[in-house]
Every structure is written in C-alpha cells, then in structure tokens.
Amino acid sequence: MNKKCRLVTLSSVGFSLMLSGSIFAHGGEHAGLTEQINTDYKVHLAPLFKHFHQNPELSTVENKTADRMAKELRDAGFDVTENVGGTGVVAILENGDGPLVSMRADMDGLPVEEKSGLPYASTAKQVDPITGNDVFVMHACGHDVHITSLVGTARRMQAMKDEWSGTLMLIVQPAEERVLGAKAMMDDGLYERFGTPDFGLAFHVSSGLEAGKIAVTDGSPYAGADTVDIIIHGVGAHGASPHAGKDPIVLGSQIVLALQTLVSRELPPRDPGVVTVGSFHSGTKHNIISDRAVLQLTVRNTSKATRKVLLDGIKRIAENMGRVAGLPDDKLPEVIVSNESVPPTNNNPELAQRLRALWIKEMGEEIISKKPNKGMGAEDYPFFTTEPYIPSVYFGVGGTPEADFKSAKAGGAPIPSHHSPLFKITPEPAVKTGVEATVHALLELLPSSKITKNN
Ligand SMILES: [Zn+2]
Ligand SMILES: [Zn+2]
C-alpha cells in the first residue's frame, strides 16, 4: 500500500507549475479552503466537537469515541479499520501514486470532574479500568479538538482529491494519557498492515498558545521520559542506636542531593534534562531505623546521549553512595529503570522549516506564534516515528483567545493548565486552525502527480 514515489520534489513541482501555469500552483490557490472549513465547522464540526466534549472516555476504553470516529471517517469516504491496538482506528484514502502520509489524533479523556463553567461541560462518568471506581471524565487535555479536526481534515481531503496524489493514513489513537496507545497500535502491526508512512504529522492544542496560531519547533517539542526506582537496603536498628544499623533515610537523602549534580554539572548547559525525585518513602515510627527506603524518579531527556548520561549517572551515584555508607557490594542500592520508556518527540528540522514557510505563505506571517513550542512533558507519538525513523512534525495549535492572556496579565483569572478541572479551549479557532494547517501540510506532502503529468 506504501507507494514509494519520492521523485516528485518540491522544486520539480514548482518548476513544472511555472511552465504549465496550472491553477494548482501553491500560494493562494486554496483561497476557498478557509471558507469551506468555516462552513464545515458551522454545519458539521461544531456539533461534533460538542458531542465529543460531552462524551469523554478514559484511556483504553474509548469505545464510543472510536465507534463515532470510525463512522465519521467512513462517511468521509475513507477505508476504515477498527480495533487496531485496542480501540484504535485507522482510516486510509488511496488516491493514486505518491507518498504515504500519516496524521495522528489521540482521543482519550481524563478522570477529572469538569469545573470549567462551560454550558456544554461534561458530566459524564465511567468506570476507571485501573481502579474500578466510577469516576467523572473530562476532555481536560483537548483531545476532543484533535479528533474533531481529524474529521474536518478527512472531509476536506476527500473534497480536494483532484489536488493531491498518494495515500493518506489517519490514525485515531487511544490511551495517549497513559502512553500506551501508540505502542499498542505499532505492536498490532500498524505499518505492516497499512504501509509505512513517508512522513508523519500530529498536533496538540495548547491552552498556553493564542487561539488561531500555530507553534512549530525545528527541535523537540516533547521530551523523552523514563521512570526509575531506587531501592535502598539499609540495616534496621533502634533509633537510639544508629551505630548498630545502616540508616536508609540518611543514605537516601545523600543520593537525592547527589543526583542534583547530574543536570547541573554533567549535562552540557544547552542540553536539557530533568531528574526529579517525586517520591521518597521509608520508615514506620519515630524511634526505629528502617531497613529500606524507596525513591521514585522521573527522568527527562531530548536525546539518546542525554538519556545515557542521566541513567548511567543515577546508577553510578546510587551505588557509590551506598559504598560511601559502608554497604557491602551485595547490599548496594538497586536502580530499576522501567521498560515504560518514551523516546523524545523530535521534529525533522528540514520538514519543520518547510511547513513553517508553507504555513506563513498560505495563512499569513502572523499565524506563527512567537511562543516556543517545547517543554519537558512527554508524548507517546514518537512510537510512530522512531523505529522505523519517519520524518515528522508535531506542532502546537492555540486554544485560548488573546484577550484572556491580556486579562490574566492584568491580574484577571489565570489561564487554566491542561489536566485542570478548569481547563477550557475555545474550539472554533482551534479546530479550524488545526484543519487548515493540516490540510495545507498534506497538500504539500502529497503533491498532485497530475500537475507533472500534464507537462
Ligand atoms: Zn494530557
Ligand atoms: Zn494531551
């Protein structure tokens, strides 16, 4: 299914366009696109967003959301396969020779009780598959914007079939919030079954960006993450006889402080990394020296090299602090790195530059947000693009009106963060910008073979 036709380069398309004077020439040729998206939003996407917002579902049990997405994408003329990696949905539109390009949208909500005050706020509840408790559910990360936009993109790409050539793969991903879904879809043979994309795209709506704007970095919008446990084996004793034991709380404290030198003294200052000890548990009572302490860490990186420095350093510090405390080799602190590691989301720099230039050309200079689109949060999207390596761009789409930022700056209500019960997105500009930016990018990456053939 993967038609490897990478011969149609951007410059060759541009050259042949000049020769033919084709109406498909880039730069304003999709002038009607904004109006078509406006109409689609009013008629179809606005009620669809409201439906998704009021019917959020938790990670891995997004059953009704997946059903609705499958129906919407089938109605848009795509070939749809359900239950890929759990509740995942894959929609394919084959449209002649050309590259295969994927666009991913994640669809899960969060166990949060919505307190946004919106008239269409969620009151939905669901049994949490982790705890078994009946909990409130909310689209507190804006994934409802992602899936609504994906439907908008599907409808536009179907309507504009004459203007592109190749294969479009839309990925509706479950369980992003538990960083499970992307890997589950890959483990279910996503690329073996549907083809390996030549390019990958994804976006996240952001409450920290002005609505109607796009943020795109040439680097890494999201960090890689590792979960690490350090088990400290002490020797228990009476609290009044510390010399008779090996105090794991004192040793654990020394380890916590020594870990602070990893980022500050061992990483090159321009290479970001984070080592956070989020939990430190030991002991039962005032006058007992415990025989065990457990530290729980999250470790963030933006490259394999940084990851190695941090993980090797944690092991070296933990074990050697154990030696400093006089522990024998078979009692040194154990460092356990969970296999639930997430690689960093790394944009392909050339592709990011190409799309930024395209968006400026098609949507205007002011479309690109001045705010940097990078942080040390983690995403599971890179499971789609790391092995095999697929040049990809993960961009940000604004979700908060500029007036709200101004009022927050002037001492008004602060902008609620993602995952907050107060979280809210202004859906209209976010969905429309998401669709328009995605459609422009897809038309760029899936150039029409008819244009070159006509010459
Ligand atoms: Zn989230
Ligand atoms: Zn999210």
CATH number at residue 284: 3.30.70.360
Distance CA 164, CA 101 (A): 12
| pLDDT at position 2 over 80 | no
Q: 333: exposed, middle or buried (C-beta count within 10 Å: 0-12, 13-18, 19+)? A: buried
359 lies in the same domain as 294 = no
CA-derived radius of gyration, the chain = 25
What's this model's pTM, rounded to 2 decimal places?
A: 0.86
Give a yes or no: residue 317 inside a domain. Answer: yes
pLDDT category at 243 given cuts 50, 70, 90 is very high
Q: Which tens digit of pLDDT belongs to each residue from 251-308?
A: 999 999 999 999 999 999 999 999 999 999 999 999 999 999 999 999 999 999 999 9
How far apart are the CA of 353 and the centre of ligand 2, in A?
A: 24
* 294: three-class secondary structure by DSSP: strand
Query: Do 94 and 185 have their domain in common?
Result: yes
Average pLDDT of the residues in 143-171:
98
Residues 241, 368, single domain; the answer is: no
Residue 2 lies in a domain: no
Q: Are 301 and 223 in contact (CB under 8 A)?
A: yes
Q: Give the model's pLDDT for residue 14.
A: 38
pLDDT at 13: 38
Ligand nearest, relative to CA of residue 111: 1
pLDDT at 339 over 90: no
Of 299, 314, 337, the position where a domain reaches its end is 337
Strand pairing class (392-400; 199-210): parallel
Q: What's the pLDDT band for 28 if we cut at 50, 70, 90?
A: low
Show which of 337, 370, 388 is a domain's final residue: 337
On whether both 330 and 356 belong to a single domain, the answer is: no
Q: How far apart are CA 339 and CA 74, in angstroms?
A: 36
Query: Which tens digit of pLDDT belongs to each residue from 363-420?
Result: 999 999 988 778 899 999 999 999 999 999 999 999 999 999 999 999 999 999 999 9
Q: Are 384 and 182 in contact (CB under 8 A)?
A: yes
d(CA 451, CA 332): 67
Is the pLDDT at 9 greater than 50? The verdict is no
In a domain? residue 3? no
CA–centroid distance, 162 to ligand 1, in Å, is 37
Query: Model confidence at 157, in pLDDT bands (50, 70, 90)?
Result: very high
Inside any domain, residue 259: yes
| Shared-domain flag, residues 307 and 352 | no
Residue 324 host element (H or E): helix 304-324
Q: How far away, in angstroms, is 109 Cα from ligand 1 center?
A: 8
112 CA → ligand 1 middle, Å = 11
| Contact predicate 306/275, CB 8 Å | no
Quick one: pLDDT at residue 371?
83
CB 56 within 8 A of CB 162: no
The pLDDT of residue 201: 98
In a domain, 1, yes or no: no
Q: In this structure, is residue 372 part of a structural domain?
A: yes
Q: Are residues 350 and 290 in the same domain?
A: no
- For residue 23, is pLDDT > 70? no
> Is 90 exceeded by the pLDDT of residue 89?
yes
Q: What is the mean pLDDT of residues 55-62?
A: 98
Is 293 inside a domain boundary? yes
Residue 124 in tokens: 């939905």
| Percentage of the chain exceeding pLDDT 90 | 89
Domain shared by 170 and 106, yes or no? yes
The mean per-residue pLDDT over the stretch 339-363 comes to: 95
Sheet holding 79-84, edge to edge: 79-84, 88-95, 166-173, 100-106, 199-210, 392-400, 214-215
CA of 179 to the centre of ligand 1 (A): 10
The Å distance, Cα 434 to ligand 2 centre, comes to 15
Instruction: Count how many domains the chain has.
Output: 2
| 233 Cβ contact list (under 8 Å, min separation 6) | 248, 291, 292, 327, 331, 332, 333, 334
Residue 443 and residue 455: Cα distance in Å, rounded?
Answer: 20
Pair (75, 189) in one structural domain: yes
User: DSSP letters of 165-221?
Assistant: -EEEEEEEE--TTTT-HHHHHHHTTHHHHH---SEEEEEEEEEEEETT-EE--SS-S
User: Could you tell me if 122 and 214 lie in one domain?
Assistant: yes
Answer for the pair 200, 384: CB distance below 8 angstroms, yes or no: yes
Q: Of 280, 308, 337, which marks where a domain is finished? A: 337
pLDDT at residue 162, as a whole number: 96
Instruction: Give the pLDDT score at 451.
Output: 53
- Kindly state whether residues 284 and 390 are assigned to the same domain: no
Q: What is the mean pLDDT of residues 146-162?
A: 98
Residues with catalytic function: 106, 177
Q: Are 90 and 239 contained in the same domain?
A: no
Provide the mean pLDDT of the chain.
92
Number of other CB atoms surrounding residue 171 within 10 Å: 27
Residues in the chain: 455
**What is the whole-number distance in angstroms between the Cα of residue 419 and the centre of ligand 1?**
6
Interval 14-40 mean pLDDT: 61
Instruction: Confirm whether 435 is domain-assigned.
Output: yes
pLDDT of residue 10: 38
Residues 237 and 312 reside in one and the same domain: yes
- pLDDT, residue 29, reads 61
Q: How far is the CA of 305 from the centre of ligand 1 (A)?
A: 26
Enclosing domain of residue 270:
224-337
Q: What is the CATH number of the domain that holds 358?
A: 3.40.630.10
